[in-house]
Amino acid sequence: MAELEVAGIKFRGGKIFLVLTALTTAGGALWGGFEFYKDYLTMKEQIQEYVAPDLTGFDKELALTKEEMNSKTDLIQTEVEMIMQEMEMIMSEIRLVSDVANELKNDLRQDVRRVEKIVNDVEQLVKEDSRETNQELRQTTKDIQDDMARLTDKLESAMTELEEKVEKRIKLALENPLSQM
């Protein structure tokens, strides 16, 4: 097997492999550190050399945009206020129409109740008048029938009386001696 002696220490087989691995790892770490430091220095130099770009054009455009936004915002606010005023007017008109509709509904309801009461009263009066008229008609019919019966009786009695008088006169006339001539 291979042996390696470094600073009085002897290394054999697997230990050589471990030492080589440790040395390459340390070398890689040192190289990564140096690269990092080099990038750091480059970045530091770039940062120190950095000059801010001229943004005055953007600032002007931003100012113009802000002015336009403000003017449009004012216009929009004015329009929103006008719309809100119109909405308030519409709402007040709706409330007014609603109040009028409710008042009309209540008036109509009262009128309907009044008409119903009048109709009921008229129906009552018609029924009462009809009853009274029927009673009067029955009474009048009965009175007429009674009067007819009395008149018929009187007429019969008068006829009978007249017949008797006529018979008496005829008898007297027949019995009269002068009538035979």
Whether 158 and 94 map to the same domain: the answer is: yes
Please give the DSSP secondary-structure letter assigned to residue 52. -
Whether 36 and 96 map to the same domain: the answer is: no
Whether 47 and 92 map to the same domain: the answer is: no
Whether 102 and 39 map to the same domain: the answer is: no
Whether 43 and 92 map to the same domain: the answer is: no
Whether 34 and 93 map to the same domain: the answer is: no
Q: Which two tokens stand for residue 113?
A: 């109740």
Range of the domain at 7: 1-51
**Is position 23 within any domain?**
yes
In this predicted model, what pLDDT tens digit does every residue of 143-173 receive, in sequence order?
Answer: 999 888 888 888 888 888 888 888 888 888 7
Confidence of residue 7 (pLDDT cuts 50, 70, 90): confident
Q: What is the pLDDT of residue 60?
A: 84
Name 11's bridge partners. Answer: 4
Name 68's bridge partners. Answer: none
Whether 18 and 95 map to the same domain: the answer is: no
**Is position 15 within any domain?**
yes
Q: How many domains does the chain have?
A: 2
Whether 94 and 170 map to the same domain: the answer is: yes
The pLDDT of residue 181 is above 70:
no
Name 4's bridge partners. Answer: 11
**Is position 65 within any domain?**
no
Whether 95 and 167 map to the same domain: the answer is: yes
Q: What is the pLDDT of residue 85?
A: 93
Q: Return the closest-CA partner of residue 4 out of 32, 18, 92, 152.
A: 18
Neighbouring residues of 4: CB distance < 8 A, sequence distance ≥ 6: 10, 11, 12, 16, 19
In this predicted model, what pLDDT tens digit does every residue of 90-123 receive, in sequence order?
Answer: 999 999 999 999 999 999 999 999 999 999 999 9
Q: Which has more pLDDT, 94 or 4?
A: 94
In this predicted model, what pLDDT tens digit does every residue of 17-72 receive, in sequence order?
Answer: 787 888 899 999 999 999 999 999 999 999 888 887 777 777 788 888 888 888 88
**Is position 78 within any domain?**
no
